[in-house]
Amino acid sequence: MAQDYDSPRSKDKDEDEESLQALSKSSRNAEADIDDDENAIAEDYELPGADLSNEDASVTVIPMQGDEFICAECFLVKHRSQLDHVNADGQPVCKECAA
């Protein structure tokens, strides 16, 4: 629907008050919806350092294999193919740390 913006507007106070009331009601409803959404998100979010002592870890730890070593620089378990050299103390160093 086309509207002529140059035409004079009607100054009906009743219409203005009704439209203002309708806008304020819709904004209050929208604010309530936003608050509900924020609360739902906050309930699912876990803060860092939260107490997880009652949680069970489902991680299987596999012992270090015979063809693996612990890098003396980064302390990560690496496969022997990643061995670059052995330092002066006799500790293995991986290729990434040697670079």
**Domain assignment of residue 33, yes or no:** yes
**Domain assignment of residue 62, yes or no:** no
| Count of structural domains, the chain | 2
Domain span holding position 23: 13-45
**Domain assignment of residue 41, yes or no:** yes
User: Please, which residues have CB within 8 angstroms of residue 74's CB and are 6 or more apart in sequence?
Assistant: 94, 96, 97
**Domain assignment of residue 59, yes or no:** no
Please report, for residues 46, 51, 52, the alpha-carbon distance to residue 43 in angstroms, rounded to integers and kept in the order given: 8, 15, 16
Q: What pLDDT, on the 0 to 100 scale, is given for residue 51?
A: 79
**Domain assignment of residue 93, yes or no:** yes
**Domain assignment of residue 50, yes or no:** no
Predicted TM-score (pTM) of the model is 0.43
Q: Encode pLDDT of 13-50 as tens digits.
A: 556 666 777 777 766 665 555 556 676 777 777 777 77
**Domain assignment of residue 5, yes or no:** no
**Domain assignment of residue 87, yes or no:** yes
